[in-house]
Amino acid sequence: MHIRITDDFDLKKISDSGQCFRVKELPGNIFRFICGNHILYLEQTGECEYLADTTPQAWESLWKSYFDLERNYGQIRGAINSEDTYLTEAAECGKGIRILRQDPWEMLVTFIISQRKNIPAIRSAVEILCRRYGQELRSSRETLYAFPSPQALAALSQSQLRDCGLGYRAPYVADAARQAASKELDLQLLTDLPDEALLERLEAVKGVGIKVASCISLFAYGRTGIAPVDTWIRRVIQERYQGRDPFPGYGPAAGILQQYMFYHALFHKKEFTGTP
């Protein structure tokens, strides 16, 4: 089906933004997205024009929300304080990124795995987990695997998890799987919690600190007022804002602006001191 998207939307930047670890660019500038048991192939065919290999029903019920298409990102960029020259530059660099609304269970596990790993290593570990323990998915183009369920991961030993490249994170993933499988941790019930309560509950999971909890809140629950602070954002705050956190001043757009900053920092590493 043909889709028209007139707001900021860049498939390559979304794929490279560090919020999703299973998006894949295929030959022909086609991007593949997996959400639960659903697969989407999306190709830009012209200015604001896209070809989506899905049904109109699935696009309306799932993918529009997944790509946060009800929100005007151009308007958010336009509201940036003109005196904030770094954020203005970062927003222009990251124009086209959108905050994806992803599965909470997948985000919990992948961001536990993400600690002290670079993006390629995270992608590799997640893909091994899916291939070994996820449900088989078939599309018209390929055979894929869904992200493993809590029950599937809870049945594994820590040794099996380490063999997927999880290292010291294996016991954290094992504990999260046990809690989610038993419903001791019901991720769907967290949807209605206010931001602070959501962060607090997520931080109660072993291996989840404020940065990981903030990523889960932003990328799974759509809490765009929460701006995760990782190594790169910390460097931005120290070197571009003299140690003053700029995000509280941007309210519900803070998490979106954080993504612009993260993307810009990721592709301009040499601008920061102490970076090889």
Residues 61-118 pLDDT 10s:
999 999 999 999 999 999 998 999 999 999 999 999 999 999 999 999 999 999 888 9
pLDDT of residue 47: 95
The predicted pLDDT at position 157 comes to: 96
Same domain for 50 and 130: no
Q: What is the mean pLDDT of the chain?
A: 95
DSSP string, 40-71: EEEEEEETTEEEESS-HHHIIIIIHHHTTTTS
Domain coverage including residue 11: 2-71
In the numeric block, the tokens 């570990």 are attached to 125
Domain assignment present for residue 203? The answer is yes
Q: Which helix (H) or strand (E) holds 2?
A: strand 2-4
Whether 134 shows a pLDDT value over 90: the answer reads yes
Residue 132 burial (CB count, 10 A): 14
Report the domain count for the chain.
2
Residue 199 resides in a domain: yes
Q: Same domain, yes or no, for 65 and 110?
A: no
Half-sphere exposure of 38 (CA within 13 A, CB side): 16
Confidence check: pLDDT of 276 > 70: no
The pLDDT, as a whole number, for residue 117 is 84
| Local confidence band at 274 (pLDDT 50, 70, 90 cut-offs) | low
Clarify whether residues 64 and 173 are in a common domain.
no
Whether pLDDT at 244 is above 70: yes
The CATH number of residue 65's host domain is 3.30.310.260
Share of the chain above pLDDT 70, in %: 99
Which of 134, 123, 128, 126 lies closest to 109, judged by CA? 126
Q: Are residues 108 and 29 in the same domain?
A: no
- Both 108 and 217 in one domain: the answer is yes
Model-wide pTM > 0.85:
yes
* Domain end marker among 71, 87, 118: 71
